[in-house]
Every structure is written in structure tokens, then in C-alpha cells.
Amino acid sequence: MVRVRFAPSPTGYLHVGGARTALFNWLFARKMGGKFVLRIEDTDLERSSQEMSFEILQALRWLRLEWDEGPIYQSRRLVIYRRMAERLVREGKAYYCYCTKEEIEERRRASGKKVWKYDRRCLHLSQEEKERFEREGRPRAVRFLVPPGVTEYQDLILGRVSVKNDEIEDFVLLKSDGYPTYHLSVVVDDHLMKITHVIRGADHIANTPKQILLYRAFGWEPPLFAHLPLILGKDRKKLSKRHGETSVLAFRERGIVSLAMVNFLAQLSWSPGEDKDFYTMEELAERFSLEKVRKSNPIFDLDKLAWLNSKVISALSAGDIWPELLPFLEREGIKEESEAKKDWVFRVIELIKERSRDLLEMARKIKRYIRNDFDYSEDALRKHWKEGAKDGLRRLRQVYAGLDSLDAASAEASLRALAEEMGVKAARLIHPLRVALLGERVSPPIFHVVEVLGKEEVLLRIDRALRELPDV
């Protein structure tokens, strides 16, 4: 049984890199019929916060990456890590280190080297020295005794990775305050939670040999490892705050739909190798495989995300869009009205979705359909409110008022007939009508707009334009 996990540390919001890691784990679990475990690595009490844990869960829910087990908080498992560290000390695979940060810094400086490995001073302490330190009540950390040799593993994405053990220093397992370091807690938990595949960012490559050594020291079988290429910013540096918004929830705020975000993330470093723009979550899971993950670092490109978003919005039904749209309707102050005439708003959504890049824009457009007190855009007036506009609109109003029913077909036929009668091109009537109905330079095909607004509302809006817009 495949078991994978996503193990964020709640020291910040969920950024796009973390979200992609979570997504790939989720996809792999779904593909393999396995389990996806969520574990919160909050052992750094200084930097972790409850709010951030909550934020991360929110983000995962938005992306629909539901977890099968958890969230498991490491901060509640401290006794386990301590016991495990003690076990290694007892077995001579780890040792107490009484060096203070200052002493280490001092020796590092004295060595004159930029990089300095721990010198194992405390490994060679005499019995008397140890006893003295203990009597003095000096705080002690537990360091792992790195054995000689070479550590190799077969990365599911990168292939064989090999590191000489003498490149690795005796890293700390248990800090002197009794909290575990990442290496200890991650290995203990992954083993206890029976994780079979560790899928994480490439920034962990160098940690892997250390952790494998730990598995061996405990006598445990290590899981398989897969390291995902790091997502880079436009400057080709690891994506961070300096590249603008990288929090996934910030994209939700900007009107990106969840499915677009997922598809965008999924297709960074991975490709199903088909000519298809986007997939449902299920389709992604079906097609996913670690072998198809590329090794090189992709660059985060907002253009592609924006395009994908408009594609997804166009493809989704009004009903699918609705739940994600609600917060934006609320922002525009039209949530209640929209809910009251939901079916009608659905018709509007179907009309405008193909031209909406994001939900922000969509909500703004919907407002013009719901409310007829909009401002006429300067742009629209300049472009379409020209000579004869008012006169044409006046005559069009008469025609429309005389019609029994005003649907797209009759609206178009009667407008074209009127244009012919007046000896002008239909566009001379169409554009002023567009300005009158929505106050914007561009819109969906105007006769569809007429139909969805309905006769009464159309006449109302024409009257308003005749009343308020300047004579030309």
C-alpha cells in the first residue's frame, strides 16, 4: 500500500512550491490507490504558529487536496522523538554534545575555514569531563555519529544520487532544549506512519543521505525518495516573497479558480504528453507518474496561469463556478441580489464566462447586468456615442416597445430592419445600444444581452441613456 505525506512547517503561508509538492503527493496517492497523510511539522516553536497551520489547511482545501489522515502535529509527539534519540545514544550511534553555540562559533572562526564540520570534540570526552559537564548542569544536545562510507540511493526522479559520508557532519538530532531537529522527527514519523514514498522539493536532496543513515541506525527500511525540481522566479532564483505574491491563497484572492491553479501547478515539471489544455483532478491523477517528472527547474510564469484561468472559466458550467464566485459577488455588494435570482445570474454567467479572465472581472461584469445605475465608461462613449446615436436609439426604442416579445432573434431582426429603413449600417444602432445597455465599449453579442435583460429592463436602460447621455 502506497502511503505518502505532505509535511509543511507552519512558519509561513502555503506558497506555490509547497502547493505543488502537496499536489504531486496527492496525485501519486490517487494514482496508486494509496493514502495521503498530512503532517504539520511545528517543532520550531519560535517560528510556527497556529494561524499559519490554519492557513495551510485552508489552501489545501481550496485546491481540493483532501487528506486521508491527519493533520498530525509533531509538537504533540515530542516524547517519541526524545525516546528515539536516547535509544541511539544508548546504542552508541549518537552522542551527547555539550558544546555551546558560542564555543562552536569560536572554533569555526579559529579554523579559518568558511565551512566547518563539527569536530567531534564531545565524542571524545573523557568520563570525568562528561561527569563534570553533567554536574555543572550544562545543556546537552544529541548528535548523530555519522559512520564512514558512502551513502547512495535511487531517486525516483533524479536517478542515482551518491554522497561520501565524510561530507556530512555529525548533525544534531535533539536540541539542547529537548526539541527534535527536522532530521530526527521526519525520519521517526515517516517510519512510524509507514510512509512508502517521500516526494518533496529538491532543496531536500542533501538531507536525504543523512536521513538514510538515520534509518539504518534505527534498523529501519528507508522509504523511496523523489525530489521535485524547484520552482524558480523570473530571475531564476528559488521562488520567494521577493517575487511578488507566491501564496496560493493570494491567487484565489485574485480570482483564479482552483482547477486552473491545480492544472498550472501540475504542469510545472510534469506533462501528460498530450495536446490538451487542462484536466479534471481525476484525469490528472489517472495520467500522473513520477517517471514523467522532468529534472530541470521550471520558471513560474503568470501569463500561462492567466490564460489557463480564462480557459477553465470558459469550460466550467455556471453551477461549477458559482461557489468560487460568491466571495467576489459579495465584494461587489451584489451577493444577496445574485442569490435571489440565481437562475438568471447563471444565464448571465454563461453569457460572459468566455470573456472573463478571472472571477474578479466576472463579478464586476455581473454587477452591470444586475444593477442599471452603472457609470458609462469614457471609453465606450468616445468610441460608440457618435453622431446620430441618440436619434437611432430613440427610434429603436419605439420599435422594441412595439414588439410582443423581445428575444435575441426578434431584437436582431427588428434592429436590422430599422437600420435598412434608416439607410445606415446595423453597427450604427448596435453600438449605441451596447452603450445604453451596459455602458461599456465591449460586451457579449448584444442581442443575447437584450434577451437576458428582458424587454422591460432594455427599455428602462435605453430611456436612461436617452435621458443622461449628451446629444450628439
79-105 exposure pattern, b = at least 16 Cβ within 10 A, e = fewer: ebbbebbeebbeeebbbbbbbeeeeee
Q: Which of 335, 347, 441, 464 binds RNA (CB under 7 A)?
A: 441
**Least distance to RNA, CB of residue 77, Å:** 12
Residues 6+ apart with CB under 8 A from 142: 85, 86, 88, 89, 94, 95, 96, 97, 172, 173, 174
With binding defined as CB under 7 A, does residue 382 bind RNA? no
Q: Is 68 exposed, middle or buried (0-12, 13-18, 19+ CB in 10 A)?
A: middle
Closer Cβ to RNA, 310 or 338, answer by number: 310
**Least distance to RNA, CB of residue 335, Å:** 25
Closer Cβ to RNA, 237 or 342, answer by number: 237
Closer Cβ to RNA, 332 or 412, answer by number: 412
Closer Cβ to RNA, 92 or 273, answer by number: 273
Q: Which of 241, 304, 341, 425 does the annotation list as catalytic?
A: 241
Q: Which of 14, 72, 85, 99 binds RNA (CB under 7 A)?
A: 99
Residue 138 vs residues 96, 131, 176: alpha-carbon distances, Å: 11, 10, 9
Q: Which of 275, 343, 378, 456 binds RNA (CB under 7 A)?
A: 275
Closer Cβ to RNA, 258 or 443, answer by number: 443
With binding defined as CB under 7 A, does residue 386 bind RNA? no
- Binding to RNA in span 66-95, by CB under 7 A: none
Q: Which stretch binds RNA (CB under 7 A): 187-195, 328-336, 428-436, 464-472?
A: 428-436
With binding defined as CB under 7 A, does residue 249 bind RNA? no
* Whether 241 is catalytic: yes
Contact 202, 230 (CB under 8 A): yes
Cα gap 378→385, rounded to integer Å: 10
Q: Which of 59, 72, 230, 359 binds RNA (CB under 7 A)?
A: 230
Residue type, 164: K
- Binding to RNA in span 143-202, by CB under 7 A: 158-164, 167, 169, 171-172, 175-177, 179-183, 185, 202
With binding defined as CB under 7 A, does residue 267 bind RNA? yes
Closer Cβ to RNA, 51 or 339, answer by number: 51
Does 71 sit behind a cis peptide bond, omega within 30 degrees of 0 on the bond before it? Answer: yes
With binding defined as CB under 7 A, does residue 270 bind RNA? yes
With binding defined as CB under 7 A, does residue 19 bind RNA? no
Closer Cβ to RNA, 33 or 38, answer by number: 38
Q: Which of 51, 66, 286, 354 binds RNA (CB under 7 A)?
A: 354
Contact 431, 398 (CB under 8 A): no
**Vertex 374: Cα angle to 368 and 380 (nearest 5):** 90
With binding defined as CB under 7 A, does residue 292 bind RNA? yes
Residues 6+ apart with CB under 8 A from 48: 9, 10, 11, 42, 75
Cα gap 225→213, rounded to integer Å: 14
Cα gap 282→260, rounded to integer Å: 14
Q: Which of 64, 154, 206, 382 binds RNA (CB under 7 A)?
A: 206
Residues 6+ apart with CB under 8 A from 364: 332
Residue 18 vs residues 24, 112, 357, 456: alpha-carbon distances, Å: 10, 37, 25, 52
Count of residues binding RNA (CB under 7 A)?
89
Q: Which of 30, 93, 287, 434 binds RNA (CB under 7 A)?
A: 434
**Cβ atoms < 10 Å from Cβ of 205:** 16
With binding defined as CB under 7 A, does residue 254 bind RNA? no
Residue 251 vs residues 66, 244, 245, 327, 396: alpha-carbon distances, Å: 19, 11, 8, 14, 44
With binding defined as CB under 7 A, does residue 136 bind RNA? no
With binding defined as CB under 7 A, does residue 273 bind RNA? yes
- The residues carrying an active-site annotation are 241
